[in-house]
Structure 1
Amino acid sequence: MADAGVRPARRADAAAVADIQVRAWRQGYRDLLPDGVLDRVTGPEAAEAWRDRWAEAATDPPSPRHRLLVAVASDLVVGFAAHGPAEDPDLDPGDTAELITLLVDPMHARAGHGSRLLAATADLLREDGFGVLTTWTFEADEVTRTFLASAGWAPDGASRTLDMGEPVRQIRLHTDIGVREDEFGRGR
């Protein structure tokens, strides 16, 4: 695809990011969440709150190690990823980061945008000194789990149950993003 890449998000991207989130959740989570929950988190009021949240993430992140990236195709925002230091109490936030979210607009799926976002995230986190990257995903979300497994991710044994009117189980996945040495002992 011509003119496709990843860049840091800007305040002006917030509306596009929120719209992508709503569309991706409506399509990807419709069979994963209890009735009514998806409507609440993707309705007009929620979409406005997401716009505000993503504008703040782009301009005033909680730390220099938190980032919001966007995938672009011909200057159109088509996906996004957010990451920061891991917050789970059993993880070391100095070495372990969390992929908070990675979503691609369903209208632009399967064009490599998710892979580009994942690679850019890993590169930035590696530069920041992280060696491990984790994320939480719905246990029943086979699409996300398959995508991440193809990139070397695996469950790390942790799970949690969210109360969404009924229990919804999530599992934590992880991957090693540490600097690897070549046969001559040089980092690459």
Structure 2
Amino acid sequence: MADAGVHTATAADLSEIVRIHRETWRLAYAELLPPEVLDALDTDEAWALAVQSGAVLKATEGEWVVGFVVASKAPDEEVAMADGSLPEDAATTALLSVLVEPRWGRRGHGTRLVAEAVRRLHETGATRGIAWVPEADKASRNFYERLGWTGDGTVRTLDAGGRPLREVRVSGPLEVRLAD
């Protein structure tokens, strides 16, 4: 494998991050989401704000950007329990979303992304992580399970262009061990 790394994404990476997001979701979620929802994924402007805030890390292999993670403090509405109450650790809970292009999968990029995000989140006082994953996305659920994250019993159903999309929230410790 060529040199692999994780770096803070910059404005120069924006077009690749947007491309990876759109193409990967179109491939992975074609059966879960209608085409019009996939065509209207987050705008370049939304990604520009995330990149500008420093919340996006990119995975590279050689000269290629192959994936990314968005990691920051979890908004209250994302960490709330099913009854709307906040857990005791709400102020120190982080929200992560990791995506690696399938053609670059199973090469450790996702784990390296999360490991670096976790390291940085610890510096901000974060103690626990959460992520929302479509219930039918077994590959992503398995990825988080390998990190020691499990479903915490919270689910939500989103309106995806008139089609319900059920997501489960996974949660776990901000600890990632990389293989030697």
How high is the TM-score relative to the length of structure 1?
A: 0.81
Structure 2 distance, partners of 1:98, 1:175, is 11
> 1:55 maps to which residue?
48
Please state how far the C-alpha of 1:36 moved relative to its aligned partner. 3.7
Structure 2 distance, partners of 1:155, 1:102, is 16
Residue 15 (str. 1) matches residue 3 (str. 2)? no
Please state how far the C-alpha of 1:135 moved relative to its aligned partner. 0.6
Structure 1 distance, partners of 2:5, 2:27, is 24
> 2:130 maps to which residue?
134
Three-state SS of the structure 2 residue aligned to 1:110 is coil
Structure 2 distance, partners of 1:12, 1:167, is 35
Residue 74 (str. 1) matches residue 66 (str. 2)? no
* Counterpart among 143, 148, 155 of residue 144 in structure 2: 148
Q: Match for 1:85: what amino acid?
A: K
Q: Structure 1: which 4+ aligned runs deviate by more than 4 Å?
A: none
Structure 2 distance, partners of 1:109, 1:28, is 13
> 2:178 maps to which residue?
none
Mapped contact 1:85–1:93 kept (Cα < 8 A): no
Mapped contact 1:13–1:55 kept (Cα < 8 A): no
Structure 2 distance, partners of 1:119, 1:75, is 21
Three-state SS of the structure 1 residue aligned to 2:106 is coil
The higher radius of gyration belongs to 1
Q: Match for 2:69: what amino acid?
A: A
Q: Match for 2:165: what amino acid?
A: V
Three-state SS of the structure 1 residue aligned to 2:125 is coil
* Counterpart among 163, 172, 175 of residue 169 in structure 2: 172
Three-state SS of the structure 2 residue aligned to 1:94 is helix
RMSD across aligned positions (CA): 1.9
Please state how far the C-alpha of 1:95 moved relative to its aligned partner. 1.1
> 2:83 maps to which residue?
none
Change (3 A) 1:67 1:93: farther
Mapped contact 2:22–2:38 kept (Cα < 8 A): no
Mapped contact 1:131–1:177 kept (Cα < 8 A): yes
Mapped contact 1:12–1:55 kept (Cα < 8 A): no
